[in-house]
Amino acid sequence: MLNVLKSGFFTSVQDTGRFNYRHKGVPVSGSMDAVATSKVNALLENDSDAALLEITMTGPTLEFEKDTYIVLGGADMNATLNNSPISNYCVYKINQGDILSYGKLSQGFRAYLGVKFGFKTESILGSRSQYVPITIDACIKDKDQLLYDPCPQFEPKIQALKIAEIADQKVLNVSKGPEFEILSDRDLEILFSKSFTVAKENNRMAYQLEETISQHSFTMLTSATLPGTVQLTPSGKLIILMKDGQTTGGYPRIIQLSTNSIATLAQQKSGETLRFKLI
Amino acid sequence: MRSYSITTKPFGKQAILVEWPKEVDSEILEDIMSFVQFLKQHCLDNKIWEIVPAYNSLTLIQRSGTVVYQEMDVLLKKWYAEKTKTNSALRFLWRIPVCYEEEFGIDLADVAQRLKKSTNEIVKLHTENPYTVYGIGFLPGFMYLGGVPKTLEIDRKKIPRLKVKQGSVGLAGKQTGIYPQDSPGGWNIIGSCPIPIFDPRVEEPCLVNVGDQIQFYQISKAAYDLHKIEATVGIYQIEKVVLNA
């Protein structure tokens, strides 16, 4: 078991997501920064859908009850293992009783903790990703215990990766969305030349942006949306749906973020600025 | 069955959108659902593709890999032309109990007053005809129902409630529906359904499919309490009728 001594601001179990239920209104969920989590699981030689902890803004304090190996990734929260600093994308051996804790957020917004074989919390509808009401809780709480299989011995093929941090990339690559054509020339110019600021309304469901483009009165029938879909409200506000985003919507879907750009956005917090680039 | 002119649009690198004429029309929906059935049976690997129908559209989402739009566009149009030979999936009419007592229908009296009818007339109008499920989304198990009689159309509440209870049955504009879980909401609440429409604890968490129909019927508070217990212990069976046997 992993004992949650302190849960942090918002720490949840996530895997690659919950597929095949979108037609029943169930969001896909899964890790927001899938680029980081795939590297973490690769270093641990885990299955790509092994469950990790997604740690937002302020980290937890965790105690390991069994020997294992861990890898951290994503945001830099100055993590320490038994009070000694440890780095992202590096395999560490964990002994029974070790304490992992986090310090100040210094880069990015979401950090990941991967454990050898992945966390073995309950799988519901094919995924361990926490999302209410599919799971009872949206995130882990103090005193929770998370199951993992012990691993006394593991010789990683690669011990550590040196990676340019994704949080430094401030450009979101997008393709045209289904309702791209409703954008005027002026809107297109604003959209692809100005920078946009992440609003304080940002979470696993959606990121809103502070700047607006033109108001519109285009109406459409409710239709499917995806993680990374950028919706335009009638007042000209841009809403970028993320992993827990609703599966259908009635606002025009003007542009669509690439998978890597969803990961980039997941590492931004309110007040940070971004640009869109049409590819 | 009629055939329509369909169009496709790229939707990012992992999805493609297919659209029918922009109308709320049960025949269009039926055509979409028979295409879904055909695609699932003959064309697409269900382990790789998810299909999300709603109103006049179908979105095909690939779990991994990239959709080559030009190729899929040609294939989808070819498949659509071939589809007429297949049968539709079974469609059901689900009979859903609703208790309209004041305890649950907290806005029923207000709705009656605004529409200049008695509460009994509102209940009668609401339960008279079946509604078509045009989409499931917004929340897990939330059904977009079409077919609200003109005489029941009413503006949503000016100030939305921060919490509407799970099971609440609401009216707003041309829409009616059941809140599948506690959530904020601005619909006028006229009753409550004691049985869960969405249950994540079973493999098929939502029995209703897009294209099905919902018929509400009035129950007493005593029947509400009984069905609630039956649903909790897992012995309640929702009544259903096959529509296209």
Give the pLDDT score at B174: 87
The model's pTM: 0.93
In chain A, residues with a C-beta closer than 8 Å to the C-beta of B35 are none
Query: Does the pLDDT of residue B234 top 90, yes or no?
Result: no
**Residue B90 predicted with pLDDT over 90:** no
Structure-token pair, residue A250: 């009635």
Asked if B139 and B187 count as a contact pair (C-beta separation under 8 A), the reply is no
pLDDT in the model for residue B4: 92
In the block, residue with structure tokens 């004992």: A3
Chain A, chain B: beta-carbon pairs less than 8 Å apart: 117
Task: State residue A201's pLDDT score.
Answer: 94
Is A258–B200 a contact, with Cβ atoms under 8 angstroms apart?
Answer: no
Note the ipTM here: 0.92
Domains of chain A: 2-146 (no CATH), 169-278 (2.40.100.10)
Question: What's the pLDDT at B85?
Answer: 61
Q: Do A21 and B134 touch (CB under 8 A)?
A: no
Kindly list the distances between the CA atom of residue A18 and the CA atoms of A22, A26, A229, in Å, as whole numbers in the listed order: 9, 8, 18
Nearest to A175 among B12, B55, B57 (CB): B12
In chain A the beta strands, taken as DSSP E runs, fall at 2-6, 10-14, 52-56, 61-64, 68-76, 80-81, 84-85, 92-94, 99-101, 107-115, 145-146, 171-176, 196-202, 206-212, 223-224, 229-232, 237-241, 248-249, 253-257, 273-278
pLDDT > 90: percent of chain B: 76
Q: How far apart are CA A18 and CA A21, in angstroms?
A: 7
- Residue of B23 and B85 predicted with greater confidence: B23
Domain borders along chain B are 7-85, 92-242
Question: Which residues from chain A sit within 8 angstroms of residue B201, using beta carbons?
Answer: 124
Alpha-carbon gap, residue A121 to A256, rounded angstroms: 32
Structure tokens at B76: 């989808």
Interchain contact, B134 vs A246, CB within 8 Å: no
Cα–chain center distance at A230: 17
What pLDDT is attached to residue B1? 65
Structure tokens at A263: 């990961």
- Contact residues, chain A, for B198 at CB < 8 Å: 24-25, 133
Half-sphere exposure of A16 (CA within 13 A, CB side): 16
Can you tell me the distance from the alpha carbon of B24 to that of A216, in angstroms, rounded to the nearest whole number?
Answer: 22
**Which parts of chain A register pLDDT below 50?**
none
Cβ contacts of A245 on chain B, cutoff 8 Å: none
Residues in chain B closer than 8 A to A24 (CB atoms): 136, 140-141, 198, 205-206
Q: Is A226 an interface residue toward B (CB < 8 Å)?
A: yes
Instruction: Tell me the residue length of chain B.
Output: 245
Q: Are strands B15-19 and A107-115 parallel, antiparallel or unpaired?
A: unpaired
Interface residue A256 vs chain B (CB under 8 A): yes
Chain-chain contact of A177 with B12 (C-beta, under 8 angstroms): yes
Of the CA atoms within 13 Å of residue A113, those in its CB half-sphere come to 28
Q: Do A226 and B24 touch (CB under 8 A)?
A: no
CB contacts of A132 in chain B (<8 Å) are 181
Q: Do B140 and A24 touch (CB under 8 A)?
A: yes
The confidence score (pLDDT) of residue B186 equals: 87
Q: Which of A135, A224, A229 sits opposite B54 (nearest CB)?
A: A224
- Give residue ranges of B with CB < 8 Å to any A CB: 9-15, 17, 22, 24, 46, 50-57, 59, 61, 63, 134-142, 144, 180-181, 198, 200-201, 203, 205-206, 209-210
Per-residue model confidence (pLDDT) at position B245: 67
pLDDT of residue A169: 66
> Residues A12-60: pLDDT tens digits?
999 999 999 999 999 999 999 999 999 999 999 999 999 999 999 999 9
Dihedral (C-alpha) A60, A34, B135, A207: value to the nearest 10 degrees? Answer: 60
- Cβ pair B206:A258 closer than 8 A: no
Secondary structure string (H, E, C) spanning chain B: CCCCCCEEEEECCCEEEEECCCCCCHHHHHHHHHHHHHHHHHHCCCCCEEEEEECCEEEEEECCCCCCHHHHHHHHHHHHHHHHHCCCCCCEEEEEEEECCCCCCCCHHHHHHHCCCCHHHHHHHHHHCCEEEEEECCCCCCEEEECCCHHHCCCCCCCCEEEECCCEEEEECCEEEECCCCEEECCEEEEECCCCCCCCCCCCCCCCCCCCEEEEEEECHHHHHHHHHHHHHCCCCCEEEECCC
CATH homologous superfamily for the domain B92-242: Cyclophilin-like (2.40.100.10)
Chain A interface, best mutation among B138, B174, B179, by max A CB count within 10 A: B138
Q: What are the chain B neighbours of A126 within 8 Å (beta carbons)? A: none
Q: How confident is the model over B36-85, as pLDDT tens digits?
A: 999 998 899 988 999 999 999 999 999 888 999 999 999 999 999 988 76
Across the range B207-231, mean pLDDT stands at 96
What is the biggest distance separating any 2 CA atoms in chain B, rounded to whole angstroms? 58
Flag if A224 and B17 touch (Cβ within 8 Å): yes
Question: pLDDT-based confidence at B120, cuts 50/70/90?
Answer: very high
Tell me the pLDDT of chain B averaged across its residues.
92
> What radius of gyration do chain A's Cα atoms show?
19
The tokens for A140 are: 């882990």
Q: Check if CATH label 3.30.1360.40 holds for domain B7-85.
A: yes
Coil/strand/helix, residue A209: strand
Residue B8 tokens, joined = 């496709």
Contact call for residues B141 and B206 (beta carbons, < 8 A): yes
A219 shares contact with chain B (CB less than 8 Å): no
Q: Which residues contact B96 (CB under 8 A, 6 or more apart)?
A: B178, B193, B195, B197, B214, B215, B216, B217, B238
A171-176 vs A273-278, strand pairing mode: parallel
Give the Cα separation of A249 and A226 in Å (integer).
Answer: 10
Residue pLDDT, tens place only, B162-175: 899 999 999 998 88
CB-based contact B205:A127 (threshold 8 Å)? no
pLDDT exceeds 90 at position B156: no
pLDDT for B123 equals: 97
Residue A261 in contact with partner chain B when CB distance is under 8 A: no
